[in-house]
Copies of this chain bind each other. A is one copy, B any other.
Amino acid sequence: MSGRVQRKIAGSLDPQGLADFKVGVDNVIFSVDTAQNRLLVLLVMRQEDPFLGQWSLPGTLVQHGESLEDAAYRVLSEKIRVENLYLEQLYTFGGPDRDPREAKSSYGVRYLSVSYFALVRFAESELIADRVSGIAWYPLDQVPPLAFDHNQILEYGYRRLRNKLEYSPIAFEVLPELFTLNDLYQLYTTVLGENFADYSNFRARLLKHRFLADTGIKVSRGAGRPATLYRFDAVAFAPLKDKPLVFI
C-alpha cells in the first residue's frame, strides 16, 4: 500500500516517461503595405531539413538562458531591421507528431512551438537577407503551403489580428508614424472586410476620442483634396486603455 504511494510519488519524477522537449518559437509577423493596401506576412525559406526549401514562419529553437520572448525577439532581429514593433504571445502548439523530427521514434524528443504575434511598420522595416536565405513579405491571400503546422499557426494569428483590431489600438503599430484617416480606414477594410461603418462615421467616431493628433500637414495623392496627416497620441489614449472601446 505504502509502496504504491511511493511509486506514485517517485513516478512523477519520471518513470512513467516524461517527454523531453525542444522548444521552438515561431513568429507570425504582419505588416501592411499602405500604398497597395495589402496585408503581408513575413515568410522565410527553410534552409534545412525537415521541409528544406519550403516556406515557413520565421522561427528558432530556444537556447540556454533565453526566455521565450527573448527568442521571439531574436528571430525578429535576425530577419528584419525595424524601429518599432508590437509583440505578444499567441498560442502554444504541442501535440506529439506535429514535427516530423519526432515522428521516427515516438519516445524521442518532442518539439513544441510557442507562437508569437508581431506587427511591424512596412516602411520602417528592412529585410535582412544573407545571400542564401529566402525571405519575403507575402500577401496573406497568396501564402503557399507552409512547413510544419505553420498554416494553422498563421490562421490563428490572423484571427487574433482581426479581433485585436476591433478593440485595441494595434492599427497604429502597422501604419506609418503619420497617416491619413483614409489609410486607417483602408487598413480596417483590407483586414476586416467591408462589414462596418461607412467612412464618414468611422472618421467622426475616431476623431471624437481625441487620441488622433492633427499634425496640420497635408498630403496630396493625385487628384482630389489633400488629406490631413494624423499621429496616434499614446498619451491621450492612455486613459482609454482597458476601457471597452470599439474601433470598428
In the assembled complex, how far is the CB of residue A133 from the closest CB belonging to chain B, in whole angstroms? Answer: 10
Q: Which range contains the number of A residues in contact with the other chain?
A: 35 or more
Total copies of this chain within the assembly: 2
Q: For residue A65, which residues in chain B have a CB less than 8 angstroms away from its CB?
A: 19, 96, 106-107
The B-contacting residues of A in range 11-29, CB under 8 angstroms, are 12-14, 16-23
A220 at interface, CB cutoff 8 A: no
User: Closest chain B residue to A132 by CB distance?
Assistant: B5
Of A87-95, A118-126, A171-179, which stretch is located at the interface?
A87-95
Interface residues of A (CB under 8 A from B): 5, 9, 12-14, 16-23, 47-48, 60-69, 89, 91-92, 94-96, 106-107, 110, 112, 114, 130, 132, 166, 244
Listed by A's residue number, 23 A-B pairs whose Cβ atoms lie within 8 Å are A5-B130, A5-B132, A9-B47, A12-B60, A12-B61, A13-B48, A17-B63, A18-B22, A18-B62, A19-B22, A19-B65, A20-B20, A21-B21, A21-B22, A21-B62, A23-B110, A64-B107, A65-B107, A66-B96, A68-B92, A68-B95, A69-B95, A112-B112
